[in-house]
Structure formats: C-alpha cells, structure tokens
Chain A
C-alpha cells in the first residue's frame, strides 16, 4: 500500500478564517512533507518533518503552521491567509534517510482564499 490521504479535497476560506489541512499515511514512513503548487508549476517545498520533528522550514510565512502529532499524521494549520495563498497543497511521505528514498504524494487539497 503506497497511499497517502489528504482531507479535505477542496477548501474555501475567508482571510479571517482558521482552518486545518490533514494528511495521513500508514506505510511506516518517517519523513513527511508539505508542498504548495500553482497550476502547471512544480511543487514548492514548505516543510519537512523527520521522525516527527520539523527539520526543514523553507521560510514559510507564520500564517502557515505545521504540526506532526504522530508518525502517521501531518497537519497544516491556516490562519489569516491571503488570496495569493490559493493553490493546491500537497502532502508527501518517504521512508526517510535512504539513499534511494522515494516520495509518495497524496491527492492534494485545493485551497481557495477569498
């Protein structure tokens, strides 16, 4: 099983709202990632968690707040977003630390900020 699940599939929020994106994997992977993607562009890395600890934060604005409650779950908390934050948000996981590591992606959450 190489499935990564993400909820919700679609999210529309106002600039004053607080919402959360959720990601789950049951492959025993120890690295989990959040990416932001605009149409027809490659994904842009936001955060990396390794063994449930934040290891990479690509200078993401504080209105995005990641959380890794356990090795299977990854959340992205959203607050006071801007319309330019509208994008496809992708979660991925990988075994972590392997020379031949491979990322597996979820289906994404389409976020629209009004």
Chain B
C-alpha cells in the first residue's frame, strides 16, 4: 500500500503549457519534498515544505503544502523541454521514515 498517491501518473504536454501534479495522502507528514529525476540519475531535490498552507516558488515552479499537511501540489508555468523527467514527492515522518509518492512522468514536447 502506497502512502502517497501522485496524479497524473503520466503527462505529455506541449512546450509553453501549464500543468499541475498532485501528491495526496490520508496521513500527516512533518515535511514533504519534491524531486525531479532524469533517466539513470539520482533524484534532485527541488524543495522542502514544512508548514501547512505553505507556498514556495522556484522560478516557474510553485509548490504548495496542504493546510493539514496531508497533500501537496506542484504547478509548472510555461513548461519547457528541460522540465521533462520523473517528478517524485516524498513525505517525512519521525524516525528517519520517508515515504515516496507513486511518481509522475512528465514529457514536454518542443
């Protein structure tokens, strides 16, 4: 059973379009991370969100942590081919426990 469900699982869009990826759970997390991963490489940390309702922006990427700290979203504005990759959310709980989401594979077509 996966604690964190991501949607959509696959997404293929044209360059310049906007998109949102969701990361949902029925469990509360003390913090949540978003990573982007390219094939054959390790996940690269994009952001950590900690406070319920928190919004963080990283250039064209906007991350939000749900008020109850059970869910999160990643919004990309004007997607570019360089945004292509596997997006992973991961929730942290006590005792070095991290739970990965099911992953969203994004392809941005030039």
**Residues of A near any B CB (own CB < 8 A):** 2, 4, 6, 31, 33, 39-43, 45, 48, 50, 55-56, 88, 90, 94, 96-97, 99-108, 110
Contacts and interface: CB of A to CB of B under 8 A. Distances in A.
B19 interface: no
B48 interface: yes
Nearest to B51: A100
A101 B92 contact: yes
A67 to B, nearest CB: 18
Given A41-B103, A101-B31, A102-B92, 19 more contacts: A6-B42, A33-B98, A40-B86, A40-B103, A42-B103, A43-B43, A43-B88, A43-B100, A55-B96, A90-B42, A90-B43, A94-B96, A99-B30, A99-B92, A100-B48, A100-B92, A101-B92, A102-B45, A105-B44
Nearest to B92: A101
A99 B33 contact: no
Contacts of B96: 31, 33, 48, 50, 55-56, 94, 96-97, 101
Interface residues of B, number: 26
Contacts of A4: 42
Contacts of A100: 30-31, 48, 50, 92
Contacts of B105: 40
A111 to B, nearest CB: 12
Contacts of A97: 95-96
5 contacts: A43-B88, A94-B98, A96-B96, A100-B30, A107-B42
B84 to A, nearest CB: 12
A88 B102 CA distance: 17
A88 B43 CA distance: 11
B66 interface: no
A63 B105 CA distance: 31
